Amino acid sequence: MEEGDLEPYVRRRRSSNEKAKNRLMKMDPVEQDRLRQCINSRERKRMHNLNSALDQLRNSLPNSKNPATKKLSKINTIVTASEWIVRLMQENDMLRKKLSDLGTSIPPLQFSISTMSHQNHHLQHPSPPFISSSPKGNREEIKQPKKKVATPKATAAVAAPPPPPPPPLDPAPQINAAAFFSNFLPNLPPNFFPNFLHHQAAAAVAAAAVSTGTTFLPQRLGNGGGGQSPLTLSMPTSQIPEFCFKDCGNNGGVCLCVKCLLSNKNTVS
């Protein structure tokens, strides 16, 4: 495309909108530029609001406060949050069932756009940097999707079947810490466990429990065969670190993270 093909304001026009085009072409270049900057500014604010909401969502996810974890990308934030919500709903259902079995009942939670909008009041009335200059106020709020003319892409989206309901949550088996270690590291030296900081061992077991779909049951480790005092696992699963222990320097160069354990990358010397 040559430089002459570009109009001062109306660029890359793909279809003709004669009214708008005529109106814009009546403007002088300075006025067109001012309008363009105004539109760009609004779009930036809109995207900043979107990112702000995305940051909130990211910070609501488990492990988000862990400085060792890398910041989730936008798409991963959405996907992870979606999966996390499903997980919470499953756990919620399970707990309700347990309550029901105990003869107690509580009313189901009710979610609605209106209550969520109330809780996200700050999105409709953002803090000063993102306050809309629009005389109509900020329209960036949670609301029902607007009706659009069916385009091929939109039609495909509507025609797509809804995702299958999540499978029922099976009662998770509980993992025994000592059994886990004896299964995956059968040739442990007699004094193996005492060589590890117990919170690392606890974290590794807990991480294994999560990755294998089992429930981490805090309990006492065995004595490791060396006549040492038993170790108490006390780390809640919410604090499971995601980083590899190889770098910690406290375990003799042996990594206890699940990934390394399962891939046999670690060696016990």
Partner DNA sequence: TAGGCCATCTGGTCCT
Partner DNA sequence: AGGACCAGATGGCCTA
158 binds DNA (CB under 7 A): no
Number of chain positions touching DNA (CB under 7 A): 43
Question: Do 178 and 230 contact (CB within 8 A), yes or no?
Answer: no
Q: Which is nearer to DNA, 110 or 114 (CB)?
A: 114
Question: Which run of H or E residues covers position 215?
Answer: strand 215-216
Query: 16-55 mask for DNA (x: CB under 7 A)?
Result: -x-xxx-x------------x-xxxxxxx-xxx--x----
Q: Interface with DNA by CB under 7 A: which range of 3-11, 224-232, 236-244, 255-263?
A: 3-11
**What's the distance, CA 130 to chain centroid?**
24
Among 13, 34, 125, 265, binds DNA (CB under 7 A): 13
146 binds DNA (CB under 7 A): yes
Footprint on residues 105-134 left by DNA (CB under 7 A) = 132, 134
Footprint on residues 51-110 left by DNA (CB under 7 A) = 51, 73-76
d(CA 47, CA 51): 6
244 binds DNA (CB under 7 A): no
* Positions that interact with DNA (CB under 7 A): 7, 9-15, 17, 19-21, 23, 36, 38-44, 46-48, 51, 73-76, 132, 134-136, 138-141, 145-149, 153
